[in-house]
Structure 1
């Protein structure tokens, strides 16, 4: 227990010293730019098996875990993607999917750079290897989004009301834990963390992510009226803030995993 607390303090100190908040802002910017391409890639792929109406319903279930205005913004973009899916078929659908993956890959590249900095890495990946890693992360995010949409919709049908909300947050935490732990495990090139250290970092991220998402959502719904200050940009500001919080927590988990690795050496 003492070593865990020491690693937590060391991880927090590493994150503060490396300006993790500023780096997270960069990830948030690229993540926001990748929103539409990532949604398009996820739901164009998902749409190969289901109809546009089902996509819209499942997407609505998925956005319920986001802070109010952010969820509305993502839902609006998802509606646009669904409409485009309705008019695409054959080769056009393949081209649209390829372009969406390329657009979303930019955010994955920014995430890899940030994690390299968190793990104090000096990567020597070549152009091809770096792009393949970014594409692998992008494809993983696309598949995870599609899977989460289907599972969340099913859970929301089984558990009505607050039970569905709790179940959605639980699934969000499981997905966050798995994704973060996998990223911490595969991104470091020279000084890889162990599976246990990556899982500790993933657990810290998932716990903080659920708490931050729920807390920020409660705050924006009851106290923070961003529309008064920012007008029509209120939803954008809420969504950017939520992405920034998520990115900062992801980097904190990485620093915690790195600190655990150093303590074990």
Structure 2
């Protein structure tokens, strides 16, 4: 196990995982508003705008307060704009939002191709179809996780944060496992091959999110340093941590496969 972890870290350094994660986090930040928009538009077909906003905003409970506030502001704008979209306009809005949000998925796919030493030769149609599939999966996960965390928040006392982080762990485990299997351009490995890396990602991701949130709330004075850009810097940093840990989990899967 220790040897695998060492090879995981060496692989991350060799693949410039930190630099790749920076690119992924940049595309994730640009895709944030389109992803929120398509989530609200699709979810809003079966729920009221207030319910949509409440459930998706619940996802921010595990984030640093400034980052959660920034997402909440964007979510409010998207929810208000959604009321103006009807019929064909609604379908067009969903299509444009999906197109914009897919850039984050393409960034993740490119990053995992680097980790697994895979070249992207799947063609324009197939690669974009996979990116859209990943995006739709993220939209579905946002709605499901938001509803679950919103319900968990109603639990008494200390049970609410424990339930929220448990749901984050499960969502991270399943999401990372699906990405490690389907995103890179390589034959789909069995679940037994990707679950250890997905578990590593989920554990480190939940822990890093909690620690980063604690640091920002108690020690980090980003607003004094960056002024009005403080919330943006915090959110970008959290995106970067998430992307780096996702790539690190992929490196762990790759290291275990090479050992076998």
- Band of TM-score, shorter chain: over 0.9
Question: Structure 1, unaligned stretches of length 5 or more?
Answer: none
Which of 42, 46, 52 is the matching residue for 2:49? 52
Q: Distance in 2 between matches of 1:19 and 1:80?
A: 37
Q: What is the TM-score of this pair, normalised by structure 1? A: 0.95
**Residue among 218, 224, 228 paired with 1:228:** 224
TM-score (norm 2): 0.97
Structure 1 residues 1-265: aligned runs within 5 Å? 4-157=1-154, 159-190=155-186, 192-264=188-260
- In structure 2, C-alpha distance between the alignment counterparts of 1:237 and 1:245, rounded to whole Å: 12
Change (3 A) 1:88 1:161: farther
Distance in 2 separating the partners of 1:190 and 1:87: 43
For structure 2, the 5+ residue unaligned runs are none
Cα separation, 1, equivalents of 2:46 and 2:120:
39
Report which stretch shifted further, 105-114 or 80-89.
Answer: 80-89
| CA–CA separation in structure 2 for the residues paired with 1:119 and 1:86 | 43
Deviation by residue 1:56-95 (Cα, 9 ceiling, x = unmatched): 2222322111111100000111111110112222221111
Aligned counterparts of 2:112 and 2:187: Cα–Cα separation in 1 = 12
Q: How many equivalent pairs are there?
A: 260
Q: Distance in 2 between matches of 1:43 and 1:190?
A: 33
RMSD: 1.2
The answer to whether the 8 A contact 1:193-1:261 is kept is no
Please say which of residues 104-113 and 121-130 is displaced more in the overlay: 121-130
- Structure 1 stretches of 4+ with a deviation exceeding 6 A read none
CA positional deviation for 1:194:
3.1
Query: Do the aligned partners of 2:55 and 2:143 also contact (CA within 8 Å) in 1?
Result: no
Distance across 1 between alignment mates of 2:107 and 2:81: 27
The alpha carbon displacement at 1:15 in A equals: 0.4
> SS of the counterpart of 2:68?
helix
